[in-house]
Amino acid sequence: MAEAAKTVEKSTLEADVTKYKVAADIVNNVMKKLVELCVEGAKVLDICVEGDKLLEQGTGAVYNKNVKGVKVPKGIAFPTCVSVNNCVAHFSPLQSDPASSQVLAKNDVVKLHIGAHIDGFAAVSAETLVVGASEEDPVTGRRADVLKAAWTAAEAAMRLVKVGNKNWSVTETVGKVTAAFDCKPVEGMLSCQQTQNVIDGKKRIILNPSEAQKKEFDAITFAENEVYGIDILVSSGEDGKARLEESRTTVFQKNSDVTYQLKMKTSRAVFFEVQKKAGAFPFNVRCLEDEKRARLGLQEATQHGLVKPYEVIYTPADTFVAGFHFTIALLPAGPVLITSPPVWYKPELVKTEKELQDEELKELLTKRLRQDRKSKKKKAKAEAAAAGTDAAPETDAAPEEKQ
């Protein structure tokens, strides 16, 4: 019976990972197109609208056969956000917003953030580019520092999110890596465990916590068969602190932990529309039928915690923020990166005089995400020889990691 249960668990997990990877392929294809759109003079609103359209088209083209008469839910897991320079995240304006006229300029530091899901299994990705940069005209100065700090920190985090490790090891390492570039992680930014229809699970990692957050934040251990969305956001500022400004919030998410009977008929209608169109995932007000009615309805729902806002926050005006988000699964055979490496970022595009000096961190970055079969077998034999025993035969090869 136990063996049968293990077989069922393994086959279910493999089916889930397949859906994660299909969603990730869609996200990666959309990201490539959005990177191409990020040119001097491009309108931020147009990029956001195009990104959401492409995500809908991509998910609409797969899993169209009903399973046992049931349609597989799919769609946007995180609406397209285009956050520029010192804007940290979640900027995705509406046509009616004053900020809808914003256009990209040469040397703007642009963060693209998108996500898609198949049957509730979400792949979310984010990356940073600099408008107009090329190998002939690479990124330099503080833009280069923050970009390299963020990507190096993301690479370190990938290698630390593995079975048996603790969340605080990621927090501390990201802080050490970014310090080498005179940068700071954005205070209080969270990375979360994912499950079906959940991208903000209870097991979390925090970046650059305040003293109060250090005392209150739970220590967790990464375990087998878990999936995490890792969000690395780094500021060129001295302390990484961010604040609200005048930008209107346009991205929200239904809060599954709260129940409340809405009083207004408009609020009930809007909340029903949210459940139907977005389910458990974040959505942009733009996807709702009537913007004015949606704003009114969301106001009551937000006040009573039925939906939560993804607020637009900023670091000081003379700073830059770079970010990378990846989705990683801790499979029995080892960690596997669900989403793809950055489309835009390449070392030759980013020239900084600052480098990582810590030998332990440099060694960490040389490690593969997953040890291959031969290395594991060799290590097992060496350990067995040292103990004077025979190594157990290895039967399952680790599937190739996605790099």
According to the model, what pLDDT value does residue 397 have?
39
Same structural domain, 31 and 152: yes
pTM of the model: 0.89
Same structural domain, 290 and 192: no
Q: What angle do CA 159, 347, 102 make, to 5 degrees?
A: 100
How far apart are alpha carbons 147 and 181 in whole angstroms? 10
Does 7 fall in a domain?
Answer: no
Same structural domain, 301 and 236: no
Does 394 fall in a domain?
Answer: no
Q: How many helices (H) and strands (E) does the chain have?
A: 9, 15
* Short-list 196, 197, 134, 125, CA closest to 154: 125
According to the model, what pLDDT value does residue 246 have?
82
Structural domain including 256 reads 250-310
Average pLDDT over the chain, rounded to whole?
Answer: 90
Q: What number is the average pLDDT over the span 85-107?
A: 95
Same structural domain, 269 and 153: no
According to the model, what pLDDT value does residue 247 have?
85
Torsions phi, psi of 193, nearest 5?
-70, 145
Task: Indicate whether 395 pLDDT > 70.
Answer: no
How far apart are alpha carbons 22 and 96 in whole angstroms? 34
**CATH, residue 265:** 1.10.10.10
* Short-list 138, 229, 114, 209, CA closest to 168: 209
Report which of residues 378 and 142 the model is more confident about. Answer: 142
Same structural domain, 68 and 196: yes
Which residues face 33 on adjacent strands?
none
Which residues lie closer than 8 Å to 87 by C-beta, 6 or more apart?
111, 247, 312, 313, 314, 321
Does 87 fall in a domain?
Answer: yes
* Short-list 159, 157, 169, CA closest to 221: 169
Does 2 fall in a domain?
Answer: no
Q: What number is the average pLDDT over the span 150-155?
A: 98
Report which of residues 369 and 8 the model is more confident about. Answer: 369
Alpha helices in 233-264 (DSSP H): none
How far apart are alpha carbons 186 and 291 in whole angstroms? 31
Q: How many domains does the chain have?
A: 2
In the chain, what percentage of residues exceed pLDDT 70? 88
Does 391 fall in a domain?
Answer: no
Does 379 fall in a domain?
Answer: no
Using alpha carbons, list the distances in angstroms from residue 378 to 385, 393, 397.
Answer: 11, 11, 14
Same structural domain, 207 and 105: yes
Residues 328, 228 contacting (CB under 8 angstroms): yes
How far apart are alpha carbons 166 and 151 in whole angstroms? 21
Q: What number is the average pLDDT over the span 377-396?
A: 52
pLDDT band at 378 (very low <50, low <70, confident <90, very high): low
How far apart are alpha carbons 403 and 401 in whole angstroms? 6
According to the model, what pLDDT value does residue 385 have?
62
Same structural domain, 141 and 259: no
Q: What number is the average pLDDT over the span 358-385?
A: 75
Report which of residues 117 and 383 the model is more confident about. Answer: 117
Does 381 fall in a domain?
Answer: no
Q: Which of 295, 310, 325 is the last residue of a domain?
A: 310
Which residues face 324 on adjacent strands?
232
Torsions phi, psi of 256, nearest 5?
-75, -10
Same structural domain, 254 and 124: no
According to the model, what pLDDT value does residue 374 have?
56
Query: pLDDT (tens digit, 9 = 90+) per residue, 155-206?
Result: 999 999 999 999 999 999 999 999 999 999 999 999 999 999 999 999 999 9
